[in-house]
A and B are shown apart, each in its own frame.
Chain A
Amino acid sequence: MQQLNLLLTSLPDGLLLGFVYGLAAMGLTLIWGVMNVINLSHGPIITLGMFSTFFIYTRLGLNPYIGVLPIALVGLLLGILIYTAAVHRVINGPHLSSLLATFSVNMIIIGLGTAALTTSPYNVDFSAGSFKLGNATILGTRIIAAIVTLAFTGGLYLFLYRTRPGKFIRAVANNRAAAELMGVPSTRILALSFGIGTMLAAVAGGLIATFFPFSILSGSGYELKSFVIGVLGGLGNPIGALFGGLILGILEGIIPAFIESSWVPVIEFVLFIFILLVRPSGLFGAKK
Protein backbone atom coordinates (compact mmCIF):
# COMPACT_ATOMS: atom_id res chain seq x y z
CA MET A 1 0.00 0.00 0.00
CA GLN A 2 2.76 2.34 0.95
CA GLN A 3 4.57 1.35 -2.23
CA LEU A 4 1.48 2.08 -4.27
CA ASN A 5 1.27 5.52 -2.75
CA LEU A 6 4.91 6.13 -3.50
CA LEU A 7 4.33 4.91 -7.04
CA LEU A 8 1.41 7.27 -7.55
CA THR A 9 3.44 10.19 -6.29
CA SER A 10 6.55 9.52 -8.35
CA LEU A 11 4.96 8.29 -11.56
CA PRO A 12 3.66 11.67 -12.86
CA ASP A 13 7.00 13.20 -12.01
CA GLY A 14 8.84 10.59 -14.02
CA LEU A 15 6.45 10.84 -16.93
CA LEU A 16 6.87 14.60 -17.21
CA LEU A 17 10.63 14.24 -16.91
CA GLY A 18 10.42 11.74 -19.76
CA PHE A 19 9.23 14.44 -22.16
CA VAL A 20 12.46 16.36 -21.71
CA TYR A 21 14.57 13.22 -21.99
CA GLY A 22 12.76 12.56 -25.23
CA LEU A 23 13.50 16.07 -26.50
CA ALA A 24 17.23 15.64 -25.88
CA ALA A 25 17.26 12.19 -27.48
CA MET A 26 15.41 13.54 -30.50
CA GLY A 27 18.44 15.70 -31.23
CA LEU A 28 20.84 12.77 -31.02
CA THR A 29 18.70 10.47 -33.09
CA LEU A 30 18.00 13.08 -35.78
CA ILE A 31 21.70 13.58 -36.42
CA TRP A 32 22.27 9.83 -36.55
CA GLY A 33 19.32 9.36 -38.89
CA VAL A 34 20.42 12.01 -41.36
CA MET A 35 24.18 11.48 -41.49
CA ASN A 36 25.05 8.31 -39.51
CA VAL A 37 27.11 10.31 -37.07
CA ILE A 38 26.97 9.64 -33.35
CA ASN A 39 27.31 13.06 -31.82
CA LEU A 40 29.52 12.66 -28.75
CA SER A 41 29.29 16.39 -28.09
CA HIS A 42 25.61 15.88 -27.32
CA GLY A 43 26.13 15.89 -23.54
CA PRO A 44 28.10 19.14 -23.27
CA ILE A 45 25.55 20.85 -25.54
CA ILE A 46 22.87 19.83 -23.04
CA THR A 47 25.07 21.32 -20.31
CA LEU A 48 25.48 24.55 -22.26
CA GLY A 49 21.68 24.76 -22.38
CA MET A 50 21.60 24.34 -18.60
CA PHE A 51 24.11 27.12 -17.99
CA SER A 52 22.30 29.38 -20.42
CA THR A 53 19.18 29.06 -18.31
CA PHE A 54 21.28 29.67 -15.21
CA PHE A 55 22.67 32.92 -16.57
CA ILE A 56 19.36 34.12 -17.91
CA TYR A 57 17.67 33.51 -14.57
CA THR A 58 20.39 34.24 -12.02
CA ARG A 59 22.47 36.90 -13.73
CA LEU A 60 19.93 38.66 -15.90
CA GLY A 61 17.08 38.09 -13.50
CA LEU A 62 14.70 37.07 -16.28
CA ASN A 63 12.10 34.30 -16.35
CA PRO A 64 14.02 31.19 -17.47
CA TYR A 65 11.44 30.39 -20.16
CA ILE A 66 12.26 33.64 -21.94
CA GLY A 67 15.53 31.85 -22.65
CA VAL A 68 14.01 28.99 -24.64
CA LEU A 69 14.02 30.71 -28.02
CA PRO A 70 17.46 32.36 -27.72
CA ILE A 71 18.89 29.04 -26.47
CA ALA A 72 17.31 27.30 -29.46
CA LEU A 73 18.83 29.83 -31.84
CA VAL A 74 22.28 29.67 -30.27
CA GLY A 75 22.07 25.85 -30.21
CA LEU A 76 21.23 25.85 -33.91
CA LEU A 77 24.12 28.13 -34.82
CA LEU A 78 26.54 26.26 -32.57
CA GLY A 79 25.58 23.00 -34.25
CA ILE A 80 26.13 24.47 -37.72
CA LEU A 81 29.51 25.70 -36.51
CA ILE A 82 30.46 22.29 -35.07
CA TYR A 83 29.37 20.56 -38.26
CA THR A 84 31.34 22.93 -40.47
CA ALA A 85 34.48 22.94 -38.33
CA ALA A 86 34.68 19.35 -37.11
CA VAL A 87 32.26 16.98 -38.78
CA HIS A 88 32.06 17.89 -42.46
CA ARG A 89 35.58 16.84 -43.41
CA VAL A 90 35.13 13.37 -41.91
CA ILE A 91 31.50 12.85 -42.94
CA ASN A 92 32.42 10.28 -45.59
CA GLY A 93 35.14 8.66 -43.50
CA PRO A 94 34.75 5.66 -41.21
CA HIS A 95 32.49 6.01 -38.16
CA LEU A 96 35.51 6.21 -35.88
CA SER A 97 36.58 9.50 -37.48
CA SER A 98 33.32 11.27 -36.76
CA LEU A 99 33.19 9.72 -33.28
CA LEU A 100 36.63 11.13 -32.53
CA ALA A 101 35.79 14.49 -34.09
CA THR A 102 32.65 14.97 -32.00
CA PHE A 103 34.44 13.58 -28.94
CA SER A 104 37.09 16.27 -29.42
CA VAL A 105 34.39 18.92 -29.49
CA ASN A 106 33.04 17.32 -26.31
CA MET A 107 36.45 17.67 -24.63
CA ILE A 108 36.89 21.25 -25.82
CA ILE A 109 33.53 22.36 -24.43
CA ILE A 110 34.09 20.57 -21.12
CA GLY A 111 37.62 21.98 -20.86
CA LEU A 112 36.55 25.55 -21.55
CA GLY A 113 33.54 25.12 -19.28
CA THR A 114 35.64 23.79 -16.42
CA ALA A 115 38.06 26.68 -16.76
CA ALA A 116 35.28 29.22 -16.70
CA LEU A 117 32.76 27.65 -14.34
CA THR A 118 34.72 25.01 -12.38
CA THR A 119 33.08 21.63 -11.86
CA SER A 120 31.08 22.68 -8.80
CA PRO A 121 27.30 22.38 -8.91
CA TYR A 122 24.96 25.18 -9.94
CA ASN A 123 21.29 25.49 -9.29
CA VAL A 124 18.41 27.41 -10.83
CA ASP A 125 16.20 28.15 -7.88
CA PHE A 126 13.07 28.87 -9.85
CA SER A 127 9.54 27.80 -9.05
CA ALA A 128 6.55 27.87 -11.36
CA GLY A 129 4.19 26.76 -8.60
CA SER A 130 2.75 23.32 -8.09
CA PHE A 131 -0.55 21.58 -7.64
CA LYS A 132 -1.86 18.40 -6.06
CA LEU A 133 -3.03 15.46 -8.08
CA GLY A 134 -4.19 12.86 -5.57
CA ASN A 135 -1.17 12.33 -3.41
CA ALA A 136 1.24 13.56 -6.01
CA THR A 137 2.61 17.08 -6.17
CA ILE A 138 3.02 18.19 -9.75
CA LEU A 139 5.61 20.89 -10.29
CA GLY A 140 4.81 23.73 -12.65
CA THR A 141 8.32 23.65 -14.12
CA ARG A 142 7.77 20.09 -15.28
CA ILE A 143 4.41 20.87 -16.83
CA ILE A 144 5.90 23.79 -18.74
CA ALA A 145 8.86 21.66 -19.84
CA ALA A 146 6.49 19.00 -21.18
CA ILE A 147 4.52 21.64 -23.08
CA VAL A 148 7.69 23.14 -24.55
CA THR A 149 8.78 19.64 -25.60
CA LEU A 150 5.48 18.98 -27.32
CA ALA A 151 5.73 22.32 -29.10
CA PHE A 152 9.23 21.51 -30.36
CA THR A 153 8.20 17.99 -31.39
CA GLY A 154 5.22 19.31 -33.29
CA GLY A 155 7.37 22.01 -34.85
CA LEU A 156 10.01 19.49 -35.88
CA TYR A 157 7.40 17.21 -37.41
CA LEU A 158 5.82 20.05 -39.41
CA PHE A 159 9.25 21.24 -40.48
CA LEU A 160 10.33 17.79 -41.71
CA TYR A 161 7.08 16.93 -43.48
CA ARG A 162 5.69 20.24 -44.65
CA THR A 163 8.57 22.51 -45.64
CA ARG A 164 11.03 22.30 -48.48
CA PRO A 165 14.20 22.33 -46.33
CA GLY A 166 12.60 19.71 -44.08
CA LYS A 167 11.88 17.47 -47.04
CA PHE A 168 15.45 18.01 -48.22
CA ILE A 169 16.63 16.76 -44.82
CA ARG A 170 14.53 13.61 -45.21
CA ALA A 171 15.73 13.13 -48.77
CA VAL A 172 19.39 13.46 -47.76
CA ALA A 173 18.78 11.04 -44.87
CA ASN A 174 17.15 8.57 -47.21
CA ASN A 175 19.57 8.67 -50.17
CA ARG A 176 22.21 11.35 -50.18
CA ALA A 177 23.65 10.51 -53.62
CA ALA A 178 20.23 10.76 -55.23
CA ALA A 179 19.48 14.00 -53.42
CA GLU A 180 22.70 15.51 -54.74
CA LEU A 181 21.82 14.39 -58.23
CA MET A 182 18.50 16.26 -57.93
CA GLY A 183 20.43 19.38 -56.99
CA VAL A 184 19.75 19.33 -53.24
CA PRO A 185 22.59 21.31 -51.60
CA SER A 186 23.57 18.42 -49.37
CA THR A 187 26.36 20.12 -47.41
CA ARG A 188 24.05 22.90 -46.28
CA ILE A 189 21.33 20.40 -45.46
CA LEU A 190 23.70 18.29 -43.36
CA ALA A 191 24.86 21.39 -41.46
CA LEU A 192 21.26 22.41 -40.87
CA SER A 193 20.36 18.93 -39.59
CA PHE A 194 23.29 18.93 -37.20
CA GLY A 195 22.21 22.39 -36.04
CA ILE A 196 18.66 21.23 -35.38
CA GLY A 197 19.99 18.21 -33.47
CA THR A 198 22.10 20.38 -31.18
CA MET A 199 19.27 22.90 -30.87
CA LEU A 200 17.01 20.22 -29.42
CA ALA A 201 19.74 19.11 -27.01
CA ALA A 202 20.39 22.68 -25.86
CA VAL A 203 16.69 23.40 -25.29
CA ALA A 204 16.32 20.15 -23.34
CA GLY A 205 19.28 21.18 -21.18
CA GLY A 206 17.74 24.58 -20.63
CA LEU A 207 14.56 22.93 -19.36
CA ILE A 208 16.30 20.32 -17.17
CA ALA A 209 18.18 23.13 -15.43
CA THR A 210 14.93 24.07 -13.69
CA PHE A 211 14.59 20.53 -12.26
CA PHE A 212 17.96 19.49 -10.82
CA PRO A 213 21.29 21.01 -9.81
CA PHE A 214 23.98 20.55 -12.42
CA SER A 215 27.67 21.05 -13.16
CA ILE A 216 29.65 21.30 -16.37
CA LEU A 217 30.01 17.51 -16.26
CA SER A 218 26.29 16.73 -15.93
CA GLY A 219 25.72 16.40 -19.65
CA SER A 220 27.31 12.99 -20.00
CA GLY A 221 24.62 11.34 -17.87
CA TYR A 222 21.91 12.77 -20.07
CA GLU A 223 23.87 11.84 -23.17
CA LEU A 224 23.85 8.21 -22.07
CA LYS A 225 20.12 8.39 -21.41
CA SER A 226 19.72 9.77 -24.93
CA PHE A 227 21.48 6.70 -26.29
CA VAL A 228 19.14 4.38 -24.38
CA ILE A 229 16.11 6.37 -25.54
CA GLY A 230 17.36 6.56 -29.10
CA VAL A 231 17.70 2.80 -29.30
CA LEU A 232 14.39 2.29 -27.51
CA GLY A 233 12.56 4.53 -29.95
CA GLY A 234 14.49 3.36 -33.01
CA LEU A 235 17.66 5.23 -33.97
CA GLY A 236 16.96 7.84 -36.59
CA ASN A 237 13.30 8.13 -35.67
CA PRO A 238 12.72 11.48 -33.87
CA ILE A 239 9.09 10.81 -33.00
CA GLY A 240 10.06 7.38 -31.61
CA ALA A 241 12.55 9.21 -29.40
CA LEU A 242 9.75 11.10 -27.68
CA PHE A 243 8.00 7.83 -26.82
CA GLY A 244 11.33 6.30 -25.77
CA GLY A 245 11.83 9.28 -23.47
CA LEU A 246 8.43 8.80 -21.91
CA ILE A 247 9.15 5.12 -21.30
CA LEU A 248 12.45 5.94 -19.65
CA GLY A 249 10.82 8.68 -17.57
CA ILE A 250 8.09 6.30 -16.41
CA LEU A 251 10.73 3.72 -15.45
CA GLU A 252 12.51 6.35 -13.43
CA GLY A 253 9.21 7.09 -11.75
CA ILE A 254 8.38 3.47 -11.01
CA ILE A 255 11.70 1.87 -10.08
CA PRO A 256 12.43 3.91 -6.93
CA ALA A 257 9.07 2.84 -5.53
CA PHE A 258 10.34 -0.72 -5.32
CA ILE A 259 14.10 -0.67 -4.97
CA GLU A 260 16.87 1.79 -4.24
CA SER A 261 17.17 4.48 -6.86
CA SER A 262 20.82 3.60 -7.41
CA TRP A 263 19.45 0.63 -9.35
CA VAL A 264 17.88 2.94 -11.94
CA PRO A 265 20.89 3.11 -14.27
CA VAL A 266 21.47 -0.63 -13.90
CA ILE A 267 17.96 -1.41 -15.02
CA GLU A 268 18.05 1.21 -17.79
CA PHE A 269 21.19 -0.18 -19.32
CA VAL A 270 20.10 -3.79 -18.96
CA LEU A 271 17.03 -2.71 -20.91
CA PHE A 272 19.31 -1.02 -23.45
CA ILE A 273 21.24 -4.24 -24.07
CA PHE A 274 18.05 -6.27 -24.07
CA ILE A 275 16.51 -4.06 -26.77
CA LEU A 276 19.70 -4.27 -28.83
CA LEU A 277 19.56 -8.04 -28.60
CA VAL A 278 15.93 -8.73 -29.30
CA ARG A 279 14.74 -5.71 -31.25
CA PRO A 280 17.67 -3.67 -32.54
CA SER A 281 15.39 -1.48 -34.66
CA GLY A 282 13.74 -0.21 -31.46
CA LEU A 283 10.12 -0.32 -30.43
CA PHE A 284 8.99 2.20 -33.02
CA GLY A 285 11.16 1.29 -35.98
CA ALA A 286 14.60 2.61 -36.90
CA LYS A 287 15.84 4.18 -40.06
CA LYS A 288 17.19 1.38 -42.26
Chain B
Amino acid sequence: MALLEIKDVTSGYGDVQILWGASLSLEKGKLTCLVGGNGVGKTTLLRTVMGLIRPWSGVILFDGKEVNKLSAYTKAEMGLVLVPEGRQLFTDMTVHENLEMGATNQRARPNFQRNLERVYEMFPRLKERSRQKAGTLSGGEQQMLAVARGIMAEPLILIIDELSLGLAPVLVLQLFEGLKLLRQEGITILLVEQNVQLALTISDYGYVLAEGKVKMEGPARKLIKDKHVRSTYLGL
Protein backbone atom coordinates (compact mmCIF):
# COMPACT_ATOMS: atom_id res chain seq x y z
CA MET B 1 0.00 0.00 0.00
CA ALA B 2 1.16 3.50 -0.73
CA LEU B 3 2.26 5.36 2.39
CA LEU B 4 1.96 8.73 0.72
CA GLU B 5 -0.33 9.41 -2.16
CA ILE B 6 -0.54 12.64 -4.09
CA LYS B 7 -3.44 12.91 -6.53
CA ASP B 8 -3.85 15.65 -9.12
CA VAL B 9 -2.36 18.35 -6.95
CA THR B 10 -2.29 21.90 -8.25
CA SER B 11 -0.59 24.70 -6.41
CA GLY B 12 1.55 27.82 -6.77
CA TYR B 13 2.35 31.21 -5.31
CA GLY B 14 -0.16 34.07 -5.47
CA ASP B 15 -1.59 34.07 -8.99
CA VAL B 16 1.22 32.01 -10.43
CA GLN B 17 0.33 28.38 -10.90
CA ILE B 18 3.32 26.04 -10.76
CA LEU B 19 1.83 22.58 -10.38
CA TRP B 20 -0.72 21.49 -12.97
CA GLY B 21 -2.07 18.25 -11.57
CA ALA B 22 0.85 16.24 -10.23
CA SER B 23 0.25 12.69 -9.04
CA LEU B 24 2.65 10.32 -7.39
CA SER B 25 2.69 7.68 -4.71
CA LEU B 26 5.36 6.38 -2.38
CA GLU B 27 5.41 2.69 -1.60
CA LYS B 28 6.27 1.83 1.97
CA GLY B 29 9.93 0.98 2.46
CA LYS B 30 10.94 2.00 -1.04
CA LEU B 31 13.30 4.63 -2.28
CA THR B 32 11.48 6.78 -4.80
CA CYS B 33 12.99 9.64 -6.71
CA LEU B 34 11.47 12.69 -8.29
CA VAL B 35 13.66 14.12 -11.00
CA GLY B 36 13.44 16.96 -13.44
CA GLY B 37 15.27 20.07 -14.56
CA ASN B 38 15.43 23.41 -12.88
CA GLY B 39 12.13 25.21 -12.35
CA VAL B 40 9.75 22.37 -13.18
CA GLY B 41 8.05 22.53 -9.77
CA LYS B 42 9.96 19.97 -7.71
CA THR B 43 10.45 22.21 -4.71
CA THR B 44 6.91 23.59 -4.99
CA LEU B 45 5.58 20.05 -4.91
CA LEU B 46 7.60 19.35 -1.76
CA ARG B 47 6.45 22.55 -0.10
CA THR B 48 2.86 21.62 -0.88
CA VAL B 49 3.26 18.10 0.43
CA MET B 50 4.88 19.40 3.63
CA GLY B 51 2.16 21.98 4.21
CA LEU B 52 4.37 25.03 3.81
CA ILE B 53 1.95 26.08 1.08
CA ARG B 54 -1.62 24.81 0.58
CA PRO B 55 -2.67 22.75 -2.43
CA TRP B 56 -5.20 24.58 -4.61
CA SER B 57 -6.87 21.34 -5.58
CA GLY B 58 -6.22 17.63 -5.42
CA VAL B 59 -5.64 15.31 -2.49
CA ILE B 60 -2.66 14.37 -0.36
CA LEU B 61 -3.10 11.13 1.56
CA PHE B 62 -0.69 10.06 4.28
CA ASP B 63 -1.25 6.50 5.44
CA GLY B 64 -4.72 6.69 3.91
CA LYS B 65 -5.75 9.92 5.70
CA GLU B 66 -6.21 13.25 3.97
CA VAL B 67 -3.59 15.73 5.17
CA ASN B 68 -4.14 18.61 2.71
CA LYS B 69 -4.55 21.28 5.35
CA LEU B 70 -2.22 20.16 8.10
CA SER B 71 0.78 22.33 8.98
CA ALA B 72 4.38 21.28 8.47
CA TYR B 73 4.65 20.98 12.24
CA THR B 74 1.77 18.52 12.50
CA LYS B 75 3.12 16.53 9.59
CA ALA B 76 6.52 16.32 11.25
CA GLU B 77 4.75 14.94 14.33
CA MET B 78 3.11 12.32 12.10
CA GLY B 79 6.45 11.26 10.64
CA LEU B 80 6.67 13.18 7.38
CA VAL B 81 10.10 14.79 7.58
CA LEU B 82 11.78 17.13 5.13
CA VAL B 83 15.52 17.60 4.72
CA PRO B 84 15.31 21.00 3.07
CA GLU B 85 17.29 22.27 0.12
CA GLY B 86 20.31 24.29 1.19
CA ARG B 87 20.53 22.25 4.42
CA GLN B 88 19.11 24.98 6.67
CA LEU B 89 21.28 23.96 9.61
CA PHE B 90 21.55 25.83 12.88
CA THR B 91 25.02 27.06 12.00
CA ASP B 92 25.72 28.70 15.38
CA MET B 93 24.85 25.53 17.28
CA THR B 94 26.93 22.41 17.68
CA VAL B 95 26.47 19.25 15.65
CA HIS B 96 25.02 17.56 18.71
CA GLU B 97 22.59 20.43 19.34
CA ASN B 98 21.45 20.30 15.71
CA LEU B 99 20.65 16.64 16.21
CA GLU B 100 18.80 17.46 19.43
CA MET B 101 16.68 20.02 17.56
CA GLY B 102 15.92 17.38 14.94
CA ALA B 103 14.38 15.24 17.67
CA THR B 104 11.90 17.91 18.77
CA ASN B 105 8.66 16.11 17.94
CA GLN B 106 6.91 13.94 20.53
CA ARG B 107 7.46 10.66 18.71
CA ALA B 108 11.19 11.24 18.37
CA ARG B 109 12.03 12.44 21.89
CA PRO B 110 11.88 9.11 23.72
CA ASN B 111 14.09 7.50 21.05
CA PHE B 112 16.72 10.21 21.07
CA GLN B 113 19.57 8.06 22.34
CA ARG B 114 18.90 5.18 19.97
CA ASN B 115 18.62 7.50 16.96
CA LEU B 116 21.75 9.36 17.99
CA GLU B 117 23.74 6.13 18.01
CA ARG B 118 22.21 5.24 14.67
CA VAL B 119 23.26 8.46 12.93
CA TYR B 120 26.71 8.47 14.51
CA GLU B 121 27.20 4.94 13.25
CA MET B 122 26.04 5.97 9.80
CA PHE B 123 28.16 9.12 9.75
CA PRO B 124 31.19 8.65 12.02
CA ARG B 125 32.51 12.04 10.90
CA LEU B 126 29.65 13.71 12.72
CA LYS B 127 30.50 11.90 15.92
CA GLU B 128 34.08 13.14 15.72
CA ARG B 129 32.78 16.67 15.30
CA SER B 130 29.81 16.52 17.65
CA ARG B 131 30.96 19.50 19.71
CA GLN B 132 31.87 21.63 16.70
CA LYS B 133 29.58 24.35 15.42
CA ALA B 134 27.63 23.23 12.37
CA GLY B 135 28.73 26.33 10.45
CA THR B 136 32.36 25.21 10.64
CA LEU B 137 31.73 21.87 8.89
CA SER B 138 32.62 21.24 5.26
CA GLY B 139 29.84 21.17 2.67
CA GLY B 140 29.68 17.38 2.65
CA GLU B 141 29.62 17.14 6.43
CA GLN B 142 26.88 19.75 6.54
CA GLN B 143 24.77 17.70 4.17
CA MET B 144 25.40 14.61 6.31
CA LEU B 145 24.23 16.60 9.31
CA ALA B 146 21.10 17.75 7.48
CA VAL B 147 20.21 14.14 6.67
CA ALA B 148 21.15 13.00 10.18
CA ARG B 149 18.96 15.70 11.70
CA GLY B 150 16.11 14.42 9.55
CA ILE B 151 16.66 10.87 10.81
CA MET B 152 16.59 12.13 14.41
CA ALA B 153 12.96 13.14 13.80
CA GLU B 154 12.06 9.43 13.58
CA PRO B 155 10.65 9.70 10.07
CA LEU B 156 8.24 7.29 8.46
CA ILE B 157 8.89 9.17 5.25
CA LEU B 158 12.09 11.09 4.73
CA ILE B 159 11.94 13.63 1.93
CA ILE B 160 15.31 14.91 0.78
CA ASP B 161 15.52 17.96 -1.44
CA GLU B 162 18.65 18.17 -3.61
CA LEU B 163 20.95 15.89 -1.70
CA SER B 164 23.77 16.11 -4.23
CA LEU B 165 23.73 19.84 -4.91
CA GLY B 166 27.22 21.34 -4.70
CA LEU B 167 28.87 18.19 -3.41
CA ALA B 168 31.84 16.29 -4.79
CA PRO B 169 30.80 12.97 -6.44
CA VAL B 170 32.64 10.87 -3.86
CA LEU B 171 30.65 12.51 -1.06
CA VAL B 172 27.41 12.05 -2.94
CA LEU B 173 28.11 8.32 -3.27
CA GLN B 174 28.82 8.13 0.44
CA LEU B 175 25.51 9.82 1.25
CA PHE B 176 23.67 7.55 -1.15
CA GLU B 177 25.13 4.53 0.67
CA GLY B 178 23.61 6.03 3.83
CA LEU B 179 20.21 6.22 2.13
CA LYS B 180 20.39 2.56 1.20
CA LEU B 181 20.96 1.72 4.87
CA LEU B 182 17.92 3.77 5.82
CA ARG B 183 15.78 1.97 3.29
CA GLN B 184 16.95 -1.34 4.74
CA GLU B 185 15.66 -0.15 8.08
CA GLY B 186 12.25 0.34 6.53
CA ILE B 187 12.19 4.10 6.12
CA THR B 188 10.36 5.29 3.04
CA ILE B 189 12.42 7.83 1.15
CA LEU B 190 11.58 10.41 -1.48
CA LEU B 191 14.68 11.78 -3.12
CA VAL B 192 14.27 14.94 -5.14
CA GLU B 193 17.18 15.47 -7.47
CA GLN B 194 18.45 17.43 -10.41
CA ASN B 195 21.15 14.84 -10.83
CA VAL B 196 18.95 12.43 -12.76
CA GLN B 197 21.54 9.76 -13.44
CA LEU B 198 22.60 9.39 -9.80
CA ALA B 199 19.06 9.46 -8.47
CA LEU B 200 17.80 6.80 -10.88
CA THR B 201 20.81 4.60 -10.16
CA ILE B 202 19.94 4.06 -6.52
CA SER B 203 16.13 4.41 -6.55
CA ASP B 204 13.50 1.71 -6.79
CA TYR B 205 11.00 3.85 -8.63
CA GLY B 206 11.19 7.18 -10.39
CA TYR B 207 9.01 10.07 -11.47
CA VAL B 208 10.00 12.64 -14.05
CA LEU B 209 8.45 16.03 -13.48
CA ALA B 210 8.16 18.61 -16.27
CA GLU B 211 6.03 21.75 -16.54
CA GLY B 212 4.28 21.06 -13.26
CA LYS B 213 3.14 17.56 -14.17
CA VAL B 214 4.49 14.06 -13.96
CA LYS B 215 5.64 13.33 -17.51
CA MET B 216 6.90 9.79 -16.98
CA GLU B 217 7.10 7.23 -14.23
CA GLY B 218 8.29 3.70 -13.77
CA PRO B 219 10.83 1.43 -12.12
CA ALA B 220 14.09 3.38 -11.96
CA ARG B 221 16.14 0.84 -13.89
CA LYS B 222 13.66 1.04 -16.75
CA LEU B 223 13.58 4.82 -16.76
CA ILE B 224 17.34 5.03 -16.92
CA LYS B 225 17.26 3.03 -20.15
CA ASP B 226 14.43 5.02 -21.64
CA LYS B 227 15.34 6.85 -24.83
CA HIS B 228 13.52 10.06 -23.98
CA VAL B 229 14.99 10.23 -20.48
CA ARG B 230 18.45 9.53 -21.81
CA SER B 231 18.31 12.22 -24.45
CA THR B 232 16.55 14.87 -22.36
CA TYR B 233 18.11 14.45 -18.94
CA LEU B 234 21.24 12.42 -19.33
CA GLY B 235 22.54 14.02 -22.49
CA LEU B 236 23.15 10.64 -24.07
Contacts and interface: CB of A to CB of B under 8 A. Distances in A.
Given A167-B100, A171-B101, A183-B105, A178 B73 contact: no
Given A180-B72, A181-B76, A183-B105, A170 B93 contact: yes
Interface in B57-97: 72-73, 76-77, 82, 84, 88-93, 97
A179 B72 contact: no
A175 interface: yes
Contacts of B189: none
Interface string A151-186: 000000000000000011011011101111111110
Contact of A184 (B88, B89, B101): B101
Contact of A182 (B50, B92, B153): B153
Prevailing SS type, chain A contact patch:
helix
Contacts of A175: 88-91
Contacts of A185: 73
Contacts of A167: 93, 97, 100-101
A174 B72 contact: no
A183 B76 contact: yes
B88 A178 contact: yes
Contact of A178 (B50, B89, B97): B89
A182 B93 contact: no
A179 to B, nearest CB: 7
A168 B101 CA distance: 8
B104 interface: yes
A185 B72 CA distance: 11
B10 to A, nearest CB: 23
A179 B153 CA distance: 12
B44 to A, nearest CB: 16
Interface string B98-111: 00111011000000
Contact of B101 (A173, A177, A182, A287): A182
Interface residues of A, number: 17
B134 to A, nearest CB: 9
Contacts of B97: 167, 170-171
Contacts of A168: 101, 104
Most buried by B among A170, A177, A179, A182: A182
Contacts, number: 55
B92 A170 contact: yes
A181 B88 contact: yes
Contact of B102 (A173, A177, A182, A287): A182
A181 B72 contact: yes
Contacts of B73: 180, 183, 185
Interface string B130-149: 00000000000000000001
A182 B76 contact: yes
Nearest to B71: A180
A170 B100 CA distance: 12
Interface in A66-115: none
Contacts of A182: 76, 101-102, 104-105, 149, 153
A173 B101 CA distance: 13
A177 B86 CA distance: 12
A174 B84 contact: no
Nearest to B87: A178
A124 to B, nearest CB: 40
A98 B207 CA distance: 45
Most buried by A among B84, B91, B101, B104: B101
Contact of B84 (A171, A178, A184, A287): A178
Contacts of B100: 167
B90 A170 contact: yes
Interface string B10-54: 000000000000000000000000000000000000000010000
Interface of A: 167-168, 170-171, 173-175, 177-185, 287
Given A174-B93, A175-B90, 15 more contacts: A168-B104, A170-B90, A170-B93, A170-B97, A173-B92, A174-B90, A175-B89, A175-B91, A179-B101, A181-B76, A181-B84, A182-B101, A182-B102, A182-B105, A185-B73
Closest 9 CB pairs of A and B: A178-B88, A174-B90, A183-B105, A183-B104, A182-B104, A183-B76, A174-B92, A183-B73, A171-B101
24 contacts: A167-B93, A167-B101, A170-B90, A170-B92, A170-B97, A171-B93, A171-B97, A171-B101, A175-B88, A175-B89, A175-B91, A178-B89, A178-B90, A181-B72, A181-B76, A181-B84, A181-B88, A182-B105, A182-B153, A183-B73, A183-B76, A183-B104, A184-B101, A184-B104
